[in-house]
Amino acid sequence: MYYVVTGAAGFIGSNLVKALNDRGVTDVIAVDDLRQGDKFANLADCEIADYLDKDEFLERLDEGVFDGVVSAILHQGACSDTTERDGRFMMDVNYRYSRRLLDHCMTDEVPFIYASSAAIYGAGQDFREERECEAPLNIYGYSKFLFDQLVRRRFEERSAQVAGLRYFNVYGEREQHKGRMASVAYHFFNQYRDTGQVRLFTGSGGYGNGEQRRDFVSVEDCVRINLHLLDHPEISGIFNAGTGAAQSFNEVATATVNACREAEGEAPLTLEALRERGVIQYIPFPEDLKGRYQSYTQADLSRLRAAGYEAPFLTVEQGVARYCQKLLERAPG
């Protein structure tokens, strides 16, 4: 029996493949689109049974190649670029492809755990998994929203697990290929290592400079939630995957700089001291993001906790320090 991970060479997908390996599971079918070839590096230390292009995988599903031999599909593949304007492309990749997989899993009674997104909530202040809280600001958020709506309409038809995870702002290892869409922790780390400074946006949405607040969640925690659902196929539904605690971009920047300072044997500095020294600087808020930017997010974890997930979450200070330590271990001398 195989575990199928789509988006397997991507950020969360590759971390899931590695986590399955750590459990001794190597019968993994890795599905992705490697036109961005440097993503292969995320799988170089992983053990898989086979790799399939995302379109080839659908063809083989339709041919019945995988009937009765799949333990679960962990669907992490998507276009996650929130600035992408090509709606046809976004809907094809994020909605229609997901729909094909859902159809197969419902027909073949295969557990289906998939990536949704907190982008569905838009500029709202209430982050519950309820229709009245959902108002996406961009086509990425809409593509995820529409699939969640499909899952809700078909929920009573399921004969196996169907579970969606609305990821909040995820950071951590194996995101280096994401470019501008990598986490702010990754960008802050590289900015500080390259220039000794980090750059944050000036205030927006009623928040001061760098004080916009997001629910920053470590990929380590996102993987643990996926594995919890995998271990409990009786659990279905749509769940927030965040820490439940919003923290500011200033806090992420401070945690990043201090993790680098600690590695050099230097004492930590406060936000105020970092500002005074010019380490933390602020740049104008981009015009193209006005009206399309979430200045505040914070996951409501009530439904996830009710589903039996009891593990604590890493704070920004804990998770970013761990992440920076890993980045430093891999950085050139």
| Set 95, 114, 140, 293: catalytic member | 140
Residue 195 has, within 13 A of its CA and on its CB side, a CA count of 11
Is 293 noted as a catalytic residue in this protein?
A: no
One-letter amino acid of 27: D
Closest by Cα among 300, 302, 313, 252 to 124: 300
| Set 2, 51, 178, 282: catalytic member | 178
Q: How far is CA 266 from CA 107, 185, 259, 263, 278, in A?
A: 58, 20, 9, 7, 17
The two tokens of residue 46 are: 């992983």
Closest by Cα among 153, 163, 117 to 294: 117
Contact 115, 165 (CB under 8 A): yes
- Matching residue, tokens 């557990």: 111
Rounded CA gap, 193 and 68, in Å? 50
| 47-69 exposure pattern, b = at least 16 Cβ within 10 A, e = fewer | ebeebbebeebbeebeeeebeee
Q: What share of the chain is helix, strand, coil (3-state, %, to 5)?
A: 45, 15, 35
Is 167 noted as a catalytic residue in this protein?
A: no
Chain center to CA of 282? 26
Q: 200 — phi, psi (to 5°)?
A: -120, 165
Q: Residues with catalytic annotation?
A: 140, 178
